[in-house]
Amino acid sequence: MKKIELDIVALSHSVSQSHNYAVVLGEQNGSRRLPIVIGGFEAQAIAVAMEHMTPNRPLTHDLFKNAMETFKIELKEVIINNLLDGIFYAVLVCEKDGETYEIDSRTSDALAMAVRFNCPIYTYEFILDAAGVVLEEPEQATAKKERPKRSRAAKREKPASLTSYSLEELNQLLEEVIANEDYEQAAKIRDEMKRRKEQG
């Protein structure tokens, strides 16, 4: 079967299941999207790697990556290879000493590993046919983007802008918002800290 390469294009709260998240995969050179509902822990694992954040101690997926690298096992690709009763199935395609191995994996874990190894993500046509959605017209997409999004940190109405915090306070705030899994605010804080370091 021909493999179709996908990119992670979004990570957001699931509209249908309030305590879960949705990771949206986009077809390369195509307009189809594959939304997959995942749990909060897995969403955190993907977001931390995508934002290049370094937790104080390794998360489970970081530990698995470190173990694989220690034993010289390379993750070549991730394949979302089946869809049964609304559940996606995936495999990690690994290589060691010239031998290829496929390891069964939950799709959310496979995606968290793919981000860490920076390896390609694939699926098959029948899965996109069954669960894929076609991207909306550009005008509709633009209209949706213009709606203001409020992060959890914004909902708490922080009294001052980030520029009024000292670097030490920003560090504390960063730890706080990461603990609350507010990655949007964490990215803003990180950008502010980076800007100050560049200014000297």
Query: 152 with 182: CB under 8 angstroms?
Result: yes
The Cα–Cα gap between 37 and 89 comes to 13
Tell me the pTM: 0.67
Of the candidates 8, 10, 49, the one whose C-alpha atom is nearest the C-alpha of residue 27 is: 8
User: Which CATH number is 96's domain given?
Assistant: 3.10.690.10
Per-residue model confidence (pLDDT) at position 180: 66
Per-residue model confidence (pLDDT) at position 190: 74
Query: Running along the chain, 200 residues long, what does each successive block of 10 average in pLDDT?
Result: 94 68 91 90 90 87 96 98 95 97 97 97 96 68 43 40 80 72 66 76
Q: What are phi and psi of 10, to 5 degrees?
A: -160, 155
Same domain, 125 and 162: no
Same domain, 51 and 112: yes
Same domain, 118 and 58: yes
Same domain, 29 and 116: yes
Per-residue model confidence (pLDDT) at position 36: 92
Per-residue model confidence (pLDDT) at position 112: 96
Q: How many domains does the chain have?
A: 2
The SS3 call for residue 18 is coil
Same domain, 172 and 83: no
Same domain, 132 and 162: no
